[in-house]
């Protein structure tokens, strides 16, 4: 039972950090614009994040270091300053996108414009982090996130052709809009391999005091949790390919994306989509805000833990308070949450190499892992992820200017 409860960390990461505003937006647009052609990105991204999550969980369980803490200790502050600055900037953008996603969900449910919801949503997230514990964040989001199963039901109801779906697992260029195809592919990969997911997962493992005895639970959490998120992401893409693509609807707004569930499931589907969007984005907002605090606290040696009273880790609590306030202001001004989301996912691809490359070195360092260093398969996977992240980082922004949006 104890090990099964630990799987909740993988599920909450899979829901809030994997299946969030970025994945919903990019997968829906991928299906709407290119049918099943981008299913291979979901499959590849899911495999990568499973392996990377297992590695950072193993690092935390064996060395009792988070990813950010190990990078700071192993490579020094001079190197770590670069990913810190980049990740702080990125996390604020992502946090704005997630709060905006919750606000849009409430707009879909109530008809009240999303900017009006920015402050209540931000206040709710802040209050939960201020008064709650890590277990509350973890178990609550994991349980509520089960509503996202509506994506799988919607995809099933559309009766997608199996042969075409399998064809989509092989990369193939569309006859038109190649720049947009690759921009969405890069943005999808950025949404699937989010830098904040890795440090949040490792920080959660340290919060829960994992040891070498939990390595089996870590593999289960990473495998099941990320597969859950990846499967539902693929289901959303399939539903969009069946519902939006034949109608020529691009999925450029959340109202259009909602059709992927509301058409197969009716008014109940429309409500379920809004609830699923709100739950996943709220869970992601909690993770991103916590990750900002985790990253800075671990870099500068502050007290850090969601399980401590704010008075006992004041700088940790102050960091997520400021981040949530800034993100709420961005949403309240009226920036389109969907456009902010697509921008954030492209920047995810730029920042990813700064974390994945050091991870390759750390996972082969016996001072941290002892007998649990990477084998040849794990090294091959993380080397591939490093190369993939590097390529994504190079092409992400140019693709945007070439007509990616």
Q: How far is CA 237 from CA 37, 176, 312, in A?
A: 10, 19, 44
Per-residue pLDDT of 230-269, as tens digits, reads 899 999 999 999 999 999 999 889 999 999 999 999 999 9
Burial tier of 384 (Cβ tally within 10 Å: 0-12, 13-18, 19+): middle
DSSP assignment string, 10-34: HHHIIIIIISSHHHHHHHHHHHHHH
Distance between CA 399 and CA 405 in Å, rounded?
9
Distance between CA 253 and CA 380 in Å, rounded?
38
Burial tier of 276 (Cβ tally within 10 Å: 0-12, 13-18, 19+): buried
pLDDT at 158: 96
Per-residue pLDDT of 97-113, as tens digits, reads 899 999 999 999 999 99
Distance between CA 321 and CA 263 in Å, rounded?
39
Per-residue pLDDT of the chain (405 residues; tens, 9 = 90+): 444 445 554 454 444 445 788 889 899 999 999 999 999 999 988 888 888 889 999 999 999 999 988 988 898 877 878 778 888 888 898 899 899 999 999 999 999 999 999 999 999 999 999 998 887 776 666 667 778 889 999 999 999 999 999 999 998 888 888 888 888 888 888 788 777 888 888 888 888 888 998 898 888 888 887 888 889 999 999 999 999 999 999 988 999 999 999 999 999 999 999 999 998 899 889 989 998 999 899 888 899 988 889 989 999 999 999 999 999 999 999 888 777 777 777 777 777 777 788 888 999 999 999 999 998 888 888 788 777 767 766 776 676 666 555
pLDDT at 197: 82
Q: Are 235 and 155 in contact (CB under 8 A)?
A: yes
Q: Are 317 and 293 in contact (CB under 8 A)?
A: yes
pLDDT at 338: 78
Distance between CA 289 and CA 3 in Å, rounded?
27
Per-residue pLDDT of 272-291, as tens digits, reads 999 999 988 998 899 899 98
Q: Are 243 and 256 in contact (CB under 8 A)?
A: no
pLDDT at 403: 53
pLDDT at 141: 66
Distance between CA 98 and CA 292 in Å, rounded?
14
Domains of the chain with bracketed CATH:
2-167+175-404 (1.10.4160.10)
Distance between CA 195 and CA 287 in Å, rounded?
12
DSSP assignment string, 241-255: HHHTGGGT----SHH
pLDDT at 4: 47
Q: Are 91 and 294 in contact (CB under 8 A)?
A: no
């Amino acid at each position: 039972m104890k090990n099964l409860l630990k799987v909740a960390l993988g599920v909450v990461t899979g829901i809030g950090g994997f299946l969030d505003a970025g994945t919903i937006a990019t997968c829906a647009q991928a299906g709407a614009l290119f049918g099943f052609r981008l299913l291979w990105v979901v499959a590849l991204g899911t495999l990568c994040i499973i392996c990377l999550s297992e590695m950072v969980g193993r690092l935390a369980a064996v060395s009792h270091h988070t990813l950010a803490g190990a990078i700071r200790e192993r490579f020094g502050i001079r190197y770590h300053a670069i990913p810190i600055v980049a990740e702080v900037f990125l996390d604020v953008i992502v946090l704005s996108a997630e709060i905006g996603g919750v606000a849009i969900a409430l707009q879909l449910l109530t008809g009240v414009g999303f900017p009006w919801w920015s402050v209540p949503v931000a206040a709710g997230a802040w209050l939960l982090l201020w008064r709650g514990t890590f277990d509350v964040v973890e178990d609550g989001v994991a349980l509520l996130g089960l509503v996202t199963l509506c994506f799988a039901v919607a995809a099933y109801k559309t009766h997608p052709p199996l042969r075409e779906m399998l064809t989509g697992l092989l990369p193939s260029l569309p006859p038109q809009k190649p720049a947009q195809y690759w921009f969405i592919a890069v943005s999808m990969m950025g949404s699937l391999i989010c830098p904040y997911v890795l440090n949040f997962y490792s920080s959660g493992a340290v919060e829960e005091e994992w040891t070498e005895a939990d390595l089996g639970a870590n593999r289960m959490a990473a495998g099941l949790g990320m597969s859950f998120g990846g499967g539902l992401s693929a289901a959303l893409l399939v539903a969009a390919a069946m519902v939006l693509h034949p109608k020529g609807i691009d999925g450029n707004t959340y109202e259009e994306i909602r059709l992927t569930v509301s058409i197969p499931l009716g008014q109940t589907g429309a409500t379920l989509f809004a609830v699923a969007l709100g739950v996943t984005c709220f869970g992601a907002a909690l993770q991103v805000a916590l990750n900002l605090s985790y990253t800075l606290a671990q870099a500068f040696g502050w007290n850090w833990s969601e399980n401590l009273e704010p008075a006992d880790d004041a700088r940790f609590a102050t960091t997520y308070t400021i981040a949530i306030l800034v993100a709420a202001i961005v949403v309240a001004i009226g920036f389109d949450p969907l456009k902010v989301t697509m921008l954030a996912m492209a920047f995810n691809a730029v920042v990813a190499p700064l974390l994945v490359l050091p991870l390759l070195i750390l996972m082969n360092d016996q001072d941290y892992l002892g007998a649990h260093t990477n084998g040849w398969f794990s090294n091959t996977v993380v080397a591939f992820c490093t190369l993939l992240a590097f390529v994504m980082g190079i092409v992400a922004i140019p693709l945007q200017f070439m007509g990616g949006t």
